[in-house]
């Protein structure tokens, strides 16, 4: 198929200007079509197989790639590079489905602004969860409506059953932690076609279908943080957040200096440049005094924290609830008791957990079902 330029669609109000590049036949805009699915295609194997499975199931698929402007180099290990856009187009061509590359730079810039703002507050952001909440399961639904699609599908390893998000069956690839904020109101319009498959089978299906991305490595970086050094983003967009200060021990005695509190996160060990006679970890960040407190690992342990609720998928939480909580993507869930209090969630842990970090997500589960989640605030 030949690609063609549709140009800016002035009559489409997505809250952000989108320029669209497509291939295949024109689509009829307006109205819902329950058999039509917008597939968010990142150029990776997972979203490619998601499109493959939906096409094989008889859905009328439309592939959409979001151009965020975060990466322009083909060598990026993120998820939105020039190479990824090309791969997504090649897969769509192979499957014979329409493909649109949408300019989402303006909307994505909000995510980078959030990322910088969180670090400037001494918090550690979670841009992947925010991207899912604002962009992939926010703006994409407006785009889907204009394309006449009733549902949005992605390559996430998660499942949806009975109005709730469940963990993906491949425990090593489960991504339900990043999806807690998409909101219960849109779940009935979301599809996760690969959520019930192991990653090995996803690659096999891609190879069997001769999709050109079957052996492509998984994304390893935040797409707008090349080299995994987020301080470069801070230097470029908010250099005022990187002001020098003191590194102090647990007694408040200066033991070193640093180039900016925003360059640290709770639990960090590497790159501290101090010698205490034992392994030192970041315990606290004080933005006002520009002090970074370090100390022994055991002093990172916490048995309680507070979180700002974002979404809850069961009945409204009005009383104490016993469940499990996951405070980082690779964190093993621990038993806890959750209690609502003054618009926040008070979380008491059955087992102490190290490095509970403000700004990260706390996601609550019962077995493999996501009950809800929020942002850790202290």
> Which positions are catalytic?
131, 223
**At what angle are helices 82-95 and 45-56 packed, to 10 degrees?**
20
Residue 325 and residue 365 in contact, taking contact as beta carbons nearer than 8 Å: yes
Where would I find the H helices in 135-198? 140-146
Cα distances (Å, whole numbers) of residue 199 to 100, 152, 156, 195, 375 = 26, 21, 11, 9, 29
Q: Give the C-alpha separation, 198 to 273, whole Å.
A: 41
Gap between the Cα atoms of 102 and 235, Å rounded: 28
How many CA atoms does the CB half-sphere of 77 hold within 13 Å?
A: 10
Are the C-beta atoms of 22 and 99 separated by less than 8 Å? yes
Rounded distance between C-alpha atoms, residue 261 and residue 265, angstroms: 8
Alpha helices in the chain (DSSP H): 45-56, 82-95, 105-120, 127-131, 140-146, 199-208, 231-237
User: Which letter does DSSP use for residue 76 in this model?
Assistant: -
Residues 260 and 239 sit within 8 Å (Cβ to Cβ): no
Region of residue 5 (left: phi > 0; alpha: psi -120 to 50; beta: else): beta
Beta bridge pairs of residue 62? 38
**DSSP secondary structure letter of residue 376:** E
Q: How many other CB atoms sit within 10 Å of the CB of residue 351?
A: 10
């Amino acid at each position: 198929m030949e690609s063609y330029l549709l140009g800016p669609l002035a009559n489409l109000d997505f809250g952000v200007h989108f320029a669209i590049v497509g291939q295949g036949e024109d689509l009829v805009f307006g109205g819902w079509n329950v058999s039509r699915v917008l597939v968010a295609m990142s150029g990776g194997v997972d979203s490619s197989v998601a499109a493959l499975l939906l096409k094989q199931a008889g859905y009328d698929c439309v592939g959409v790639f979001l151009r965020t402007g975060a990466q322009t180099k083909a060598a990026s290990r993120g998820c939105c590079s020039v190479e990824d856009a090309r791969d997504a187009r090649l897969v769509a061509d192979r499957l014979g489905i329409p493909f649109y590359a949408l300019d989402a730079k303006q909307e994505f810039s909000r995510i980078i602004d959030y990322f910088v703002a969180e670090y400037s507050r001494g918090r550690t952001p979670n841009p992947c969860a925010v991207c899912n909440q604002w962009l992939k399961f926010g703006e994409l639904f407006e785009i889907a409506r204009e394309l006449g699609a009733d549902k949005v599908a992605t390559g996430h390893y998660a499942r949806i059953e009975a109005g709730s998000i469940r963990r993906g069956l491949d425990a090593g690839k489960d991504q339900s932690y990043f999806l807690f904020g998409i909101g219960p109101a849109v779940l009935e319009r979301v599809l996760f076609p690969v959520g019930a498959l192991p990653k090995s089978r996803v690659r096999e299906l891609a190879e069997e279908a001769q999709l050109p991305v079957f052996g492509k490595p998984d994304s390893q970086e935040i797409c707008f943080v090349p080299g995994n050094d987020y301080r470069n983003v801070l230097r470029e967009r908010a250099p005022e957040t990187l002001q020098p200060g003191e590194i102090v021990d647990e007694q408040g005695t200066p033991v070193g200096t640093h180039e900016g509190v925003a360059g640290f996160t709770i639990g960090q060990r590497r790159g501290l440049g101090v010698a205490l006679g034992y392994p030192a970890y970041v315990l606290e960040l004080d933005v006002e005094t520009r002090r970074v407190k370090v100390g022994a690992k055991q002093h990172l342990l916490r048995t309680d924290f507070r979180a700002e609720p974002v979404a809850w998928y069961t009945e409204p939480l009005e009383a104490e609830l016993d469940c499990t909580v996951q405070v980082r993507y690779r964190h093993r869930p621990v038993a806890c008791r959750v209690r609502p209090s003054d618009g926040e969630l008070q979380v008491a842990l059955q087992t102490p957990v190290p490095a509970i970090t403000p700004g990260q997500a706390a996601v609550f589960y019962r077995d493999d079902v996501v009950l809800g989640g929020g942002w850790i605030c202290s």
